[in-house]
């Protein structure tokens, strides 16, 4: 037992002596001055900026530790990049052969400030364009160099912080705090190869249009795919994005699912909207109309999004848009070759102001491109909306109908049921449907375009109780009437949604009443003689003319 104890003591002493000896050797070989002579001149030659290093230490177990390393701005005063601690871990045995083989690089508390200056120039643009000028930086004396045979295969970033600022305010300022780690290698030809990477996004914070946006989560990367699971807070709305991107270096194939517990859609859409100069809008619209489907396909040949494929699902539990509340929104989408397909989508909605009702809608959509003008021109789709019991208030269309007919009940009409079919094509929304109650039924069939221009031939049926309220000029017209006494009034609705023009559709009235009136006359004329027949035909002509007037 005593012998074993003595042997253990001897081994420990040997290890201590060996460690001390190696430490002395390493510090002699990797001196502070020698390291600074290599690092600082090369860094300044590469960046064209002043580079400072407060302290550098060499340790047997910790490796090479550089503290307070900073790359200055062009004014040589402010910090562009500042690193609190920079650690190079090396392998010991190669060092005995005077070869520095790095096994791990750790960057502690880096802080990077990116500034977009006026004119779209960035505070790092000069470094990106820089080429070595003048004589090369002095090399260390012969025999004192540090040949690096292998670059580190592990790379860690701890407590990183990135600050983005824009002097022109075209883009929002934001900050990002994260940790990261990578594992890879450098090929013989100098090409980097990534085996694995992970970002832990602690917080991304931005102020956009008086709204605070925060995001956090994790992103993992390997040679074949990127996987992300992020949570965001936009104002008071909570959102989650789960996505996988395969073949991200060649033909990206994306699966992205979006889930929001609550969503203010109007504010959300406003985040990405930026109105362009009005003076260029007419010209843009004119060009947009001239470009056909072939032109769009040709444009997509050079579109970077052409190779992108994406699919997934969008879910919103409860949302708001203006006066409407929607819930249980479900949408499946697929994007390929520049074409976005949404099929199906389902939504339940309710309105509690001007359009007070509950309902649901489902359908499909398809469009090409990313710009609003292109989307409008190529938008196609169909949808069906079912409406429950409700009331329409402050509608300019129903105000105009009420004013024309003289029926006050049509100004803010209540209805029991509604059904509408929508067909979106040719930059118009074609609709065919009805609203009905125990007093009336209105059935528009026409279109509305994206400029809110209307072309809606409409059939209005009113009950006997509403017939009494018709204006005199309407009461004198023999409208089509069914067995229950309901009258059918054909209307034309034109103008715009904001300024509709409602009038009697005389052409439809003739088509509606003419055949019935003519058949009645024919049956009457069959009982008359030939002379009376001639007279009756003259009366028929006069009556029809009076009817048109």
Whether 133 shows a pLDDT value over 70: the answer reads no
- Confidence label for 77 from pLDDT (cuts 50, 70 and 90): confident
Spatial distance between the Cα atoms of 418 and 386, rounded to a whole number of angstroms: 6
Residue 8 DSSP SS3: helix
Whether 57 shows a pLDDT value over 80: the answer reads no
Mean pLDDT to the nearest integer, 393-409: 90
Spatial distance between the Cα atoms of 520 and 513, rounded to a whole number of angstroms: 11
Mean pLDDT to the nearest integer, 46-75: 82
Looking at residue 275, what is its pLDDT?
46
Contact 348, 291 (CB under 8 A): no
- Comparing 31 with 480, the larger pLDDT belongs to 480
Looking at residue 348, what is its pLDDT?
93
The residue ranges of DSSP E strands in 463-499, in sequence order, are 480-481, 487-495
Sign of the alpha-carbon torsion through 441, 446, 449, 455: negative
Ranking 183-197, 301-315, 333-347 by mean pLDDT, the lowest is 183-197
Whether 427 shows a pLDDT value over 90: the answer reads yes
Whether 190 shows a pLDDT value over 60: the answer reads no
Q: What average pLDDT does the chain have?
A: 78
Whether 144 shows a pLDDT value over 60: the answer reads no
Contact 207, 169 (CB under 8 A): no
% of the chain surpassing 90 pLDDT? 36
Mean pLDDT to the nearest integer, 51-74: 81
Spatial distance between the Cα atoms of 140 and 542, rounded to a whole number of angstroms: 115
Mean pLDDT to the nearest integer, 34-51: 78
- Confidence label for 539 from pLDDT (cuts 50, 70 and 90): low
- Confidence label for 39 from pLDDT (cuts 50, 70 and 90): confident
Distances in Å between the alpha carbon of 129 and those of 51, 71, 125? 18, 17, 7
At 380, list the tokens: 């196609």
Ranking 140-154, 329-343, 485-499 by mean pLDDT, the lowest is 140-154
The residue ranges of DSSP E strands in 100-247, in sequence order, are 102-116, 154-166, 174-186, 192-208, 211-222, 225-234, 237-246
Which residue pairs from 233-238 have beta carbons closer than 8 angstroms and sit at least 24 positions apart in sequence?
Answer: 234/267, 234/268, 234/271, 235/211, 235/264, 235/267, 236/262, 236/264, 237/261, 237/262, 237/263, 237/264, 237/268, 238/262
Ranking 184-198, 232-246, 339-353, 501-515 by mean pLDDT, the lowest is 184-198
Mean pLDDT to the nearest integer, 397-420: 92
- Residue of 371, 372, 379, 368 lying closest to 339 (CA atoms): 368
Peptide bond into 344 cis (omega under 30): yes
Contact 458, 434 (CB under 8 A): no
Looking at residue 88, what is its pLDDT?
79
Looking at residue 474, what is its pLDDT?
74
Ranking 5-19, 337-351, 410-424 by mean pLDDT, the lowest is 5-19
In eight-state DSSP terms, residue 496 is B
pLDDT tens-digit map of 235-277: 888 899 999 999 888 889 999 999 999 998 888 777 765 544 4
């Amino acid at each position: 037992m005593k012998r074993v104890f003595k042997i253990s003591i001897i081994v420990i002493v040997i290890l201590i002596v060996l460690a001390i000896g190696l430490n002395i050797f390493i510090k002699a070989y990797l001196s502070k001055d020698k390291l600074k002579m290599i690092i600082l001149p090369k860094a300044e030659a590469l960046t064209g900026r002043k580079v400072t290093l407060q302290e550098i230490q060499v340790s047997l177990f910790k490796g090479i530790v550089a503290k307070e390393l900073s790359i200055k701005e062009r004014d040589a005063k402010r910090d562009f990049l500042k690193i609190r601690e920079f650690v190079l871990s090396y392998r010991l045995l190669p060092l005995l052969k005077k070869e520095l083989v790095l096994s791990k690089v750790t960057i502690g508390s880096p802080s990077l400030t990116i500034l977009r200056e006026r004119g779209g120039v960035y505070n790092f643009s000069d470094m990106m364009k820089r080429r070595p000028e003048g004589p090369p930086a002095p090399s260390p004396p012969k025999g004192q160099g540090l040949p690096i045979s292998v670059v580190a295969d592990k790379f860690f970033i701890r407590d990183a912080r990135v600050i983005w600022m824009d002097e022109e305010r075209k883009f929002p300022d934001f900050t990002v705090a994260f940790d990261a780690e990578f594992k890879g290698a450098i090929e013989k030809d100098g090409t980097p190869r990534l085996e694995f990477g992970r970002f832990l996004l602690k917080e991304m914070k931005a102020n956009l249009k008086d709204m605070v946006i925060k995001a956090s989560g994790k992103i993992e990367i390997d040679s074949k795919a990127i996987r992300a699971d992020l949570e965001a807070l936009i104002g008071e709305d909570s959102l989650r994005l789960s996505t996988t991107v395969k073949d991200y270096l060649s033909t990206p194939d994306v699966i992205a699912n979006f889930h929001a517990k609550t969503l203010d859609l109007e504010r959300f859409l406003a985040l990405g909207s930026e109105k362009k100069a009005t003076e260029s809008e007419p010209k843009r619209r004119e060009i947009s109309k001239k470009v056909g489907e072939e032109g769009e396909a040709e444009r997509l040949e050079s579109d970077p999004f052409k190779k992108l494929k994406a699919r997934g699902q969008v879910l919103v539990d409860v949302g708001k848009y203006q006066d409407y509340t929607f819930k249980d929104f479900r949408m499946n989408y697929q994007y390929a070759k520049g074409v976005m397909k949404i099929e199906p989508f389902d939504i339940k909605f309710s309105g509690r102001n001007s359009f007070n009702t509950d309902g649901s809608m489902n359908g499909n959509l398809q469009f090409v491109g990313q710009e609003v003008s292109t989307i409008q021109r190529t938008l196609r789709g169909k949808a069906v909306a079912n409406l429950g019991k409700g009331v329409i208030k402050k509608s300019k269309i129903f105000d105009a109908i009420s004013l024309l007919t003289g029926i006050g009940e049509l100004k803010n009409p209540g209805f029991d049921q509604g059904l509408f079919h929508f067909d979106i094509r040719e930059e118009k929304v074609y609709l065919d449907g009805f609203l009905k109650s125990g007093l009336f039924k209105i059935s528009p069939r026409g279109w509305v375009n994206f400029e809110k221009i209307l072309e809606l031939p409409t059939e209005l049926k009113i009950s006997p109780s509403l017939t009494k309220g018709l204006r005199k000029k309407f009461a004198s017209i023999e409208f089509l009437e069914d067995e229950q006494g309901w009258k059918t009034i054909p209307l034309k609705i034109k103008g715009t949604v904001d300024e509709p023009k409602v009038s009697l559709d005389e052409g439809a009235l003739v088509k509606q009443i003419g055949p019935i009136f003519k058949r009645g006359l024919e049956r009457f004329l069959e009982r008359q003689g030939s002379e009376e027949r001639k007279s009756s035909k003259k009366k028929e002509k006069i009556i029809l003319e009076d009817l048109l007037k």
